[in-house]
Amino acid sequence: MNWTLDITRGENGYKLGHWEEIEDGYEMGWREEYIQDDEQDELKSGEELLWRIVDYFNLGGSKHDKERIRIEREKQ
C-alpha cells in the first residue's frame, strides 16, 4: 500500500489531503482536513501539522520503544 499525504499551505493554515479506505478496504475516498492558524499562537498550526504527519505515517512509536520522535517547543 502506498501512503500519500498532500500538504498545501494557505493564507490561514494548512490543508491536508489523503486517500482512505471507505468500507472494508474495497473503496478509496479522498479526505481533506484543515489546520487553521491561531493568531494568538504563531507556532500552534505548525506544531499540529508536524504531529499530524507523525500520526499519519505512524512514526510516533510507543512509550515502550527505546527511541521515538518527539515534537516540543523550546523556550528562550
- Write the pLDDT tens digit of every residue in 50-61: 999 999 988 888
Structural domain count, the chain: 1
**5-51 pLDDT, tens digit each:** 999 999 999 999 998 887 776 778 899 999 999 999 989 999 999 99
pLDDT bin (cut points 50, 70, 90) of residue 1 is: low
pTM: 0.81
Domain residue limits at 70:
1-76
Host H or E run for residue 54: helix 44-56
Beta-carbon contacts of 36 under 8 Å, excluding residues fewer than 6 positions away, are 12, 13, 45
